[in-house]
Amino acid sequence: MTRNWKIFLAALVGCVVVGLISLRGLHRRVARLAKAEVTEEQARHEVLAPPVSTPTDVPVKAQMFWAGGPDGLAPVEIELPLSADAQERSRQLLQALIAEPPTPDQRTLPADVEVLGFYILPDGTAIADFSDALSNETPSGILSERLAVNSIVRTLESNVPGLRRLKILIHGQEVDTLAGNVDLTGFFDLNPSVPQPISPVAPTGPTPKSPPAAAVPKASGASPAPQKH
């Protein structure tokens, strides 16, 4: 091997070593930048929607539903200070759902969404009022809209007992769809496994011979069913 070849090989090895070292550094910087982005997002959210705190707040393990797997939701347990008051508790949960997904890939609701109001009526009907960002920034598509609604519904039903159904409003108004596909004109069942009273209401149209869709097990891909009123 000539001297020139030896110099060339030594230079090549040197380049590879330098490349590997800088690649590691680059990877760290990318990870730091990603983390900084999340922090900035959270900081902005805290300014727009300050955390709800009440005198009855107690740290509890809350079961949150964020995106998990290609098409579904997965429960994630986090510790949250939650109020004893169901209305405030629901607001706290929804704010955490928006602001605290473990990773960006698990996000189901746009980061800029605000919970403008949350009300519970005496019959267990919950009304959640979100800012326009829910409608404007959720990617249009059945998959993404379904995930957004289901993450709200399943998080509420897992942590707030006594809720029967949910109505989603955008900026105080009923809207036709979330982002073009999922129907928001009806209500979504909460806790459908709780036995409901037998309907005394006259059937509308042909009598359904099958069980209501709410009885479909969630494992088969069913999502919370909307009700018409």
Partner 1 sequence: MARGMKAELERQGLRVVMTRNDDSNPSYDDRASMANGYRDAIFISLHIATTGTVGSVRAYYDQMSAPYVPPADAASSPGKPALSVAPGLNSWNEAQRPYLNASHRLADLIQIELAQKFSGSGDTSLGAAVRELRSVAGPAVAIELSSVSGPDPDTLANAAAAPLADAIAQAITAFRAATPGGAKQ
Amino acid (one-letter) located at 174: E
List of residues contacting partner 1 (CB under 8 A): 70-71, 121-125, 139-146, 149, 164-165, 176-177, 181-183, 185-189, 192, 196-202, 204-206, 208-210, 212-214, 216, 220-223, 225-229
The answer to whether residues 126 and 90 touch, using CB atoms and an 8 Å cutoff, is: yes
> Cβ 218 to partner 1, closest distance in Å?
9
Under 8 Å between Cβ of 125 and 79: no
Concatenating the DSSP letter of every residue in 80-107 gives EEE-SSHHHHHHHHHHHHHH--SSGGG-
Nearer to partner 1, 79 or 123 (CB): 123
What's the Cα-to-Cα distance from 160 to each of 63, 77, 84, 156, rounded to whole Å? Answer: 10, 15, 10, 6
Q: Of 62 and 214, which CB lies nearer to partner 1 in the complex structure?
A: 214
- Both structure tokens of 105: 């890939």
In the complex, what is the shortest distance from the CB of residue 188 to partner 1, in angstroms, rounded to a whole number?
8
Q: 26 phi and psi, to 5 degrees?
A: -60, -45
Residues 85, 24: Cα–Cα separation, whole Å? 49
Residue 127 corresponds to which tokens in the numbers above?
């009304």
Q: Minimum distance between the CB of residue 67 and partner 1, rounded to whole angstroms?
A: 10
Closest CA to 177 of 220, 226, 108, 215: 226
- Provide the minimum distance between the beta carbon of 73 and partner 1 in the complex, in angstroms, as a whole number: 12
**CB closer to partner 1 out of 54 and 137:** 137
The answer to whether the beta carbons of residues 189 and 224 sit under 8 Å apart is yes
Backbone angles phi, psi at 188, to 5 degrees: -110, 130
Closest CB 181 distance from partner 1, rounded Å: 6
In angstroms, what is the minimal distance from the CB of 52 to partner 1?
24
